[in-house]
Amino acid sequence: MENEKKEYLSGSSLERILRAGYFAVTGELGPPQNANPEVVRKKAKVLKGNCDAVNITDNQTAIVRMSSIGAGILAEQEGLEPIIQMTCRDRNRLAIQSDLLGAYALGMRNLLCLTGDHQAFGNHPTSKNVFDIDSLQLVKAVADMRDEKKFMSGDEFKSSEPRFLVGAAAAPFADPLDFRPYRLAKKIEAGANFIQTQLVYDLDAFEIYMKKVRELGLHEKAYILAGVGPLKSPMMAKYMKNNVPGILVPDELIERMTEAGAEWKGKKKKDMTKEEKRARSKAWKAEGIKICIDLVKDMQKIEGIAGVHIMAIEWESAVKEIVEGAGLYPRPVVEA
Amino acid sequence: MIVAEQKSLEEMKALISDAEKVLVLGCGTCVTVCFAGGEKETMIASSSLRMATKLDGKDIKIEHATVQRQCEWEYLDQVADQIKDADVVLSLGCGIGVQAIVERFPESWVVPGLNTTFLGLPSEQGVWVERCAACGECVLDITGGICPIARCSKSLMNGPCGGSEDGHCEIDKDVECAWQLIYDRLAAKGKLDSILKLQPPKDWSSSRDGGPRKIVRPDLRFINEELEE
Ligand code: SF4
Ligand code: SF4
């Protein structure tokens, strides 16, 4: 990690917490599909104090939503530090750089660089995509703005360059599996200061990945936050296992989820009363949170893991339970 | 080769609905090998149109012809009379063919009977796949002869993205992940070094993003001028 005496890169509270050696917690806040600031404020209030910073998604799954910078400012106003997500799908290098200047001017300090889901997934499948640069090139561009004081064109900043803490994502279990640690190495070499991984449920597989990551010395060059998230139901667990690329869900966890709803076993959804359905869902969700707490506890024991990134979009209240359950509450404050 | 697909009969009918005399003009090169606008397809399309317009109660005179290459003026000149004689030329050449006719015969009205789709190859009987996006700065040396620009859904230079699974791309299980192919080939050749290096942002100015492109070869121009003297 950076020398203790060195100046902060961005001075964000996430950076200060990571640098101080605390086990960091980040969360996620999905902006609404409308222009209502109250939606963001409400979610921010739920998350505030339970995590050190939150990712504000950028047109997630290619569905148009309030911009990540706009929603990030609202979160910041609520006292919740945002991590602005920026994808390469919707902006070329001019738009990306100018948005970064604007975001920094408005007080944003953390940036997560992503390639972005293809627009075929979203609600504008007939649109044109951009992909002028990819996520690695974006990481380098943002790091170069800060460290070399240069635009992508090579032009120099005369003053006031944006100084972001640069983040990137990692997909430990996507294909080609053997290449994944090396792709992470490329991202860190490009300048990523922190990494958030895709959801991890399979600790054995993750240990194998992390072993390689440590062999490559990557955990010493960037803070790696393991992605975790509470399962809502056995169906969701199965769906993710079978349909979401790069997510492994061990059968053992699917069984734990199924077991949690054992009281209602064999009952068809259409034969159940509203109350029964609600009770079953509650039981599943409680187990999902328990599993997540176990995962967070286990992550704290893995060498090279600097924190967790809790993904509980549209279930923000779960974050508090998980953080408390894992003994990570209250969150530390590191003065600038 | 350039790969194209015929527009539907309905669409073609609409394109010629105001005409009295139509020339359906095929091309003997790329669109012949992809069975979209060769001599045979041109013949079939014109007779289908003849029947369909007759059934609609219209009296449109529909002729057909096929030139060796619609994208070169000298071949078009061979059917100059037929082109000039028609009120509408329905081209079964690629988009370049349509424009070549327009440029050579500005008086004529030319409409496209094909949707020009991509640069590719036939991978199996009845299947064509895209292989090149004519980006103007070929990087196949880095990626082991598999194009990341045309074949990766996001044109990534530092792929694969997190959506790659079991060899297919996140957008569709029927689409191969170009970066899985690149990885496999380089691994097999012991050349993975090539993709361990960070590739800088691509210079898209040689691509369509730089505006319409043009190649001028002074060496060839010079010879031509000499010959003309
Ligand atoms: S790199 Fe460019 S020129 Fe080469 S095959 Fe791909 S699109 Fe065509
Ligand atoms: S899955 Fe493969 S082909 Fe599809 S966008 Fe990602 S890297 Fe490109």
| Tokens linked to A286 | 């409680």
Contact A179 B172 (CB under 8 A): no
Amino acid at A62: A
- Residue A4 is predicted with a pLDDT of 52
A187 occurs within a structural domain: yes
Of residues A248, A115, A100, A209, the one with CA closest to residue A161: A100
Contact A225, A196 (CB under 8 A): yes
Indicate whether A5 pLDDT > 70. Answer: no
Q: How many percent of chain A have pLDDT more than 90?
A: 94
Q: Answer whether residue A185 is part of any domain.
A: yes
Q: Coil, strand, or helix at residue A201?
A: coil
Q: Which of A120, A133, A174 sits opposite B164 (nearest CB)?
A: A174
CA-to-CA distance for B118 and B112, rounded, in angstroms?
Answer: 16
What percent of chain B stands above pLDDT 90? Answer: 95
pLDDT at A6: 77
Write out pLDDT tens, residues A113-152.
999 999 999 999 999 999 999 999 999 999 999 999 999 9
Q: Say if strands B172-176 and B168-169 run parallel, antiparallel, or are unpaired.
A: antiparallel
Q: Which of A60, A137, A140, A218 to mutate to test the interface with B (most CBs of B within 10 A)?
A: A137
Task: State mean pLDDT over A58-82.
Answer: 97
Best probe of the A interface among B154, B173, B191, by most A CBs < 10 A, is B154
Model pLDDT, residue A336 = 85
Q: What CA–CA distance (Å, rounded) separates B113 from B12? A: 6
B199, A245: Cβ pair inside 8 Å? no
Strand partners of residue A29: A56
| 3-class SS of residue A165 | strand
| pLDDT value at residue B229 | 58
Distance A239 CA to ligand 2 centre (A): 21
Give distance in angstroms: CA of B133 to centre of ligand 1.
Answer: 6
Please give the distance, rounded to the nearest whole angstrom, from the Cα atom of residue A244 to the centre of ligand 2. Answer: 14
Distance between CA atoms of residues A74 and A68, nearest Å? 10
User: Is there a domain that residue A6 lies in?
Assistant: no
Query: Could you tell me if residue A179 is inside a domain?
Result: yes
Counting every residue written for chain B, the total comes to 229
Closest CA to B177 of B192, B165, B162: B165
Name the amino acid, one letter, at B127.
V
Residue A336 lies in a domain: no
Residue of B165, B179, B181, B182 best suited for mutating to test ligand 2, as the one with most atoms within 8 Å of CB: B179
Nearest to B170 by CA among A1, A244, A26: A244
Residue B23 pairs in a beta bridge with B63, B89
Q: The tokens of B45 are what? A: 């399309």
Query: Which pLDDT score, from 0 to 100, does residue A2 have?
Result: 46
Q: Per the domain annotation, does A4 fall within a domain?
A: no
CATH of the domain at A87: 3.20.20.220
pLDDT in tens, B152-177: 999 999 999 999 999 999 999 999 99
Classify domain B2-118 by CATH number: 3.40.50.2300
At A3 the pLDDT is 47
CA dihedral angle for residue A260, residue A263, residue A268, residue A270, rounded to 10 degrees: -100
Instruction: Give the pLDDT band of residue B211 (cuts 50, 70, 90).
Output: very high
Per-residue pLDDT at A267? 87
The sign of the CA dihedral A233, A235, A236, A237 is positive
Query: What is the average pLDDT score of chain A?
Result: 96
Compute the average pLDDT of residues A9-38: 98
**Pocket of ligand 1, beta carbon within 6 A:** B 132-135, 138-140, 147, 149-150
Main-chain dihedrals φ then ψ at residue B78, nearest 5 degrees: -65, -25
Whole-prediction pTM value?
0.95
How far apart are the C-alpha atoms of A63 and A118, rounded to whole Å?
A: 10
A245: nearest CB among B164, B172, B184: B164
Positions of CATH 3.40.50.2300 in chain B: 2-118
CA A90: distance to chain centroid?
Answer: 19
Total of domains in chain A? 1
Q: Is A216 contained in some domain?
A: yes
Q: How confident is the model over A206-232, as pLDDT tens digits?
A: 999 999 999 999 999 999 999 999 999
Atom of ligand 2 nearest to the CA of B159: 7
Domain of A272, in residue numbers? 13-325
B67 pLDDT higher than 50: yes
ipTM summary value: 0.94
Residue with tokens 């390469």: A88
Interface contact flag, B198 A189, Cβ < 8 Å: yes
